[in-house]
């Protein structure tokens, strides 16, 4: 990911917050010379003894599953998970400075590492259970759905149709393009205009200090 110095964030907490608050991500892995496989899926983000580990699953019919299942110590398959956060179009009319051009502000995290298949049945079930638990919790006060509500044997049958995986992150990049390269009055104009619009996707710029353009 191209990240100019003024848009780079090395704050791990910022990256983790974005990943966890925007878990529907894009998994990208090379599939031969000049070809890639891309899958859209929810991702679990966890820290394990200081290491960052991602978990998820794809359908066995998905070509990504073959890449995951073929990844091993002798032939590791690298992949990148792309998390996209708040984003918004920025109009030049919002700047105090004249003769500016339109741009787009956004937050994004790229987490790279080696894919590893999860073959153990209970471990696969844990991925499924943890995914549903994470998102059912957001529906409170609704009583959470769990796999225990399914007819016995259903989970086992459905498990055969998916490939679960882990990705141990060894490369983490965060880009926070939030008008930090603009003068304070121009940045303040962007923040004020996005606040006035009241759009959820414009929230990213509210994390910028209009006085100096730094992340809060």
Assign residue 101 the CATH number of its domain.
Answer: 2.30.110.10
Let me know if residue 190 belongs to a domain: yes
Let me know if residue 103 belongs to a domain: yes
Q: Which residues contact 181 (CB under 8 A, 6 or more apart)?
A: 4, 6, 7, 213
Q: Which residues contact 214 (CB under 8 A, 6 or more apart)?
A: 180, 208
Running along the chain, 216 residues long, what does each successive block of 10 average in pLDDT? 92 95 97 90 92 97 97 95 95 94 96 96 94 96 94 91 97 95 92 85 57 51
pLDDT score for 210: 47
Torsion angles phi and psi, residue 203, rounded to 5: -60, -25
Strand partners, 176: 107
Longest dimension (CA), the chain: 67
Residue with tokens 């303040």: 188
Let me know if residue 85 belongs to a domain: yes
Q: What is the DSSP letter of 6?
A: G
Q: Which residues contact 45 (CB under 8 A, 6 or more apart)?
A: 16, 19, 20, 23, 52, 54
Let me know if residue 145 belongs to a domain: no
Structure tokens at 203: 């929230």
C-alpha closest to that of 44 among 28, 20, 68, 12: 20
Q: What is the DSSP letter of 215?
A: B
Rounded Cα distance between 16 and 50, Å, is: 13
Let me know if residue 110 belongs to a domain: yes
Structure tokens at 32: 């031969």
Rounded Cα distance between 155 and 162, Å, is: 11
Let me know if residue 138 belongs to a domain: no
pLDDT score for 203: 61
Let me know if residue 210 belongs to a domain: no
Residue with tokens 């965060």: 174
Let me know if residue 132 belongs to a domain: no
Contact indicator for 141, 28 with CB cutoff of 8 Å: no
pLDDT score for 211: 47
Which residues constitute the domain of residue 26? Answer: 5-119+163-197
Rounded Cα distance between 86 and 18, Å, is: 9
| Domain tally, the chain | 1
Global confidence as pTM = 0.90
């Amino acid at each position: 990911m191209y990240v100019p110095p003024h848009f780079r964030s090395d704050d791990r907490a910022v990256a983790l917050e974005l990943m966890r608050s925007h878990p529907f991500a894009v998994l990208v892995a090379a599939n031969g010379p000049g070809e890639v496989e891309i899958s859209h899926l929810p991702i679990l983000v966890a820290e394990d003894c200081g290491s960052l580990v991602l978990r998820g699953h794809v359908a066995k019919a998905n070509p990504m599953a073959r890449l995951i299942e073929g990844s091993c110590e002798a032939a590791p398959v690298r992949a990148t998970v792309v998390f996209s956060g708040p984003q918004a179009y920025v109009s030049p009319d919002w700047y105090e400075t004249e003769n500016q051009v339109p741009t787009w502000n956004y937050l994004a995290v790229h987490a790279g590492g080696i894919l590893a298949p999860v073959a153990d049945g209970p471990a696969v079930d844990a991925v499924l259970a943890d995914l549903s638990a994470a998102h059912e919790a957001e529906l409170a006060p609704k009583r959470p759905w769990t796999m225990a509500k399914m007819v016995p044997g259903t989970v086992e049958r459905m498990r055969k149709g998916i490939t679960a995986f882990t990705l141990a992150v060894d490369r983490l990049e965060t880009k926070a393009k939030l008008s930090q390269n603009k003068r304070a009055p121009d940045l303040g104009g962007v923040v004020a205009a996005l606040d006035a619009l009241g759009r959820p996707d414009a929230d990213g710029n509210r994390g910028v200090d209009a006085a100096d353009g730094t992340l809060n």
